Structure 1
Amino acid sequence: MIFMLSGNKFSGPVPKSISNIYRLLLLDLSNNSLSGTEFPAFGPNSLIAYVDISSNNFSGKVTAGFARFTSMLSLSQNGFSGPLPENFSNLRMLKHLGLHDHNISGEFPAFFSQVSSLQVLNLRNNSIDGSISNDLSSLSSIQILNLSNNNLKSEIPPSLEKLTGMIDTPDVPVTLSEIFNFPVEIQHLIVNWKKSKQGLSIRNRDIYTFLDLSKNQFSGEIPHSLGGLKSLKLLNLSFNELSGKISEFW
C-alpha cells in the first residue's frame, strides 16, 4: 500500500509493472535520478492517491495516466516539456498538483476550471503563455495558486474574487499521518518569500493562502476585487507591466 524510495540514487526508468500493484495508495520516488519519457500508466480504477516523482530526470510530455482517486501529484523539477494533457480534467478528486520548474508550454489550460477539487496548483517557472480565463474562478477550493515566472499576459481577471478558498478560512484537512497512523511527509511546497525560496510543510498547509502571479507580462490595473480575498497571506504581483493607481483594497 505504501512504496517509498525517496532520497536515494536510483536511476533509469520506472518498471511499468509498478502500476499492477492493485492496493498501492502512496508512491514516493522523489529525489532520485530516475529517467524516461513514459511513466507507468495507472488504470482509472486504481487506488493510487498520492504520487511524488519530483526531483528526478523524467522528460517528454507530462503524463496524465493516473487514477480517478488520485488526490496529490507532485511532478515538479524534472524535464517535462510541451503542453499539458487535457485528460487532467478527468482527475476530479485532485487536490494538489505540483508542476513547477519544467519547460511546459502552450496557453494556460482552460480545463483546470473543471477540477474544482484543486487546493494547490503550482505551475511556476515554466513557459506557459496566453491569458488567465475567467473560468478559473470556478476553483472554489483553491488556497495556493502559483503561476509565477511564465509568459502570461493580458489583464488580471477581476473574477479571481470568486476564489472562495482565499476568502473563507478553510477546514483543516485530514493529514496523511492520520490516514496511515505513522508519519508521512510529502515534499514541501516551495514558495517565493522575501527574495528567497522557502518550503511549506504539508502538515501546516491549511493555514496558508497564496496568490503569486509575479514575473509575467500582466498589464492594466490591479483589479479592485482582489481586496475581497480576505484570507490571503501572500499576494505577489511583482515584475509585471501593471499600471494605473493602487486602490484602497483592504
Structure 2
Amino acid sequence: MFKANSFVDVIKHLVVIGVIVALLIVGFFYVYLPSATNHGESISVPKITGMQLPEAEEYLEEQKLRYYVNDSSYNSDRKPFEILTQDPAPGASVKEDRKIYVSINMKNPPMIKMPKLIDGSVKNAELILKSYDLKKGEVKYVPDLQQNAVLKQFVNGKEVKPGEPIAKGSVVDLHVGDGLGNTEFEIPNVVGMPVDEASVLLVGQGLQIGTILYVQGSGEADGTVLKQRPIAEVGAKIRVGELVDLWVAGEETVQAIE
C-alpha cells in the first residue's frame, strides 16, 4: 500500500493510478474487446440453398458459422431436408459464429383435402391441381355423354371424393367423358333416302352428320343418299354421338339439313 509522506508523493501516487487506469482502458477497448468481437473481421455468407442439411452444417462449421432452422415446407420436386431459403443472403458480410436462418424441405408431405374436380373440364382440373400442389396423372376417356368432363378422380388407383385427405404432391388420375356415351344401337340405313330426310333421321337418333360428298353421274335423283359410312350391316352397332358420313347424288349446291 502506498504511503504519502508529502504532497509530492500524493501527486506521484495519483499519476501512477492514472497510468494504470489508462492502461486498463486501452487494453480493454483496443486489445480485449476487438479480439472478443473479431473487430474489423467479417465473413462472406456462402450459398447453401439447394444443399442437404447435414452437408450444409459441416460446410458452415468450416466457415465458422452456424445455422438455425426457422421454417419448413414441402415441395415434391425437392429432396427431403434440402435447404430452400437462407437469411442472410449469399455474399452478405457477417461476424464469425453468426447464425444463418434456413428453411428446409420436409421429409413427409403434409395432408390436404382433395379438391373437387368432378363435372369440370380437364383444363380446369389442371389449374386446380396446380394451385393445390398436386400433379395431373393419367387421363382416361370413358363412355359418357359429358364430353371432356371429369367424372371420377383417383389417387394410387383408389377413387377419392372431394374433401378426403390426401398427401400434398400426390398424382391424381382422371376419368373423363368422351362425349359419346355407352348406348349402342343398330346403325340406321339411310341409303336411297333423300339427304334431308336422312339427316333428320340420323340426328334424331343422337348421331352426327359427318362429311357429305357429292357424286355426279350416278343415275340417281339429285339429293339421294348413295352410300354411308359406317355401313348399316346386319348386327353392326353405333354409339350415341358418333359421326355418319354420306355420299349424295348431284352437285354440292344441294343443301342438306344437319
TM-score, normalised on structure 2? 0.18
Larger Rg: 2
Higher relative contact order at CA 8 Å, sep ≥6: structure 1 or structure 2? 2
Q: Which has the higher strand share?
A: 2
TM-score, normalised on structure 1? 0.18
